[in-house]
């Protein structure tokens, strides 16, 4: 039986489904997976487990943002913007 209110239950479901799994650090993935498995089996989590899910989601979000920025980085565009010979120097 769930120890969570319906609102908290929905928040935890959204937190779990909104976490980008490939961006979870390998050190934390086993912890995240065991918490998710327990939630799916029982529908209840402690406050500490919810806090761990939130923290892992924040870290995964940061990792995903960094990987997208690195994938979209264009050295030539940056070099043209910074070292543009037509740009007046101070």
What is residue 89's predicted lDDT score, i.e. its pLDDT?
A: 61
Residue 2 has pLDDT above 80, yes or no: no
Residue 1 has pLDDT above 60, yes or no: no
Per domain, the residue ranges of the chain are 6-82
pLDDT digits (tens, 9 = 90+) for 5-55: 888 888 888 888 888 888 898 999 999 999 999 999 998 899 999 999 999
Structure token pair of residue 51 = 């806090």
Can you tell me the distance from the alpha carbon of 80 to that of 58, in angstroms, rounded to the nearest whole number? 34
Residue 3 has pLDDT above 90, yes or no: no
What is residue 70's predicted lDDT score, i.e. its pLDDT?
A: 76
What is residue 55's predicted lDDT score, i.e. its pLDDT?
A: 93
Distances (CA, A) of 52 to 5, 45, 47, 61: 19, 11, 9, 14
Nearest Cα to Cα of residue 32 among 83, 40, 75, 87: 40
Q: Record the pTM.
A: 0.71
Read off the pLDDT of each residue in 47-65 and give the average, rounded to a whole number: 91
Summarize the chain as % helix, strand, coil (round to 5): 75, 0, 25
Residues with Cβ within 8 Å of 61's Cβ and at least 6 positions away in sequence, in order, are: 20, 23
What is residue 67's predicted lDDT score, i.e. its pLDDT?
A: 82
């Amino acid at each position: 039986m769930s120890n969570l209110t319906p609102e908290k239950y929905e928040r935890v479901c959204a937190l779990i489904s909104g976490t980008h799994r490939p961006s979870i650090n390998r050190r934390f993935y086993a912890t995240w997976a065991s918490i998710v498995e327990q939630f799916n089996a029982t529908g209840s989590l402690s406050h500490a487990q919810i806090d761990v899910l939130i923290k892992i989601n924040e870290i995964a979000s940061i990792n995903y943002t960094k990987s997208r920025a690195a994938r979209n980085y264009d050295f030539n565009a940056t070099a043209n913007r910074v070292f543009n010979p037509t740009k007046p120097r101070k």
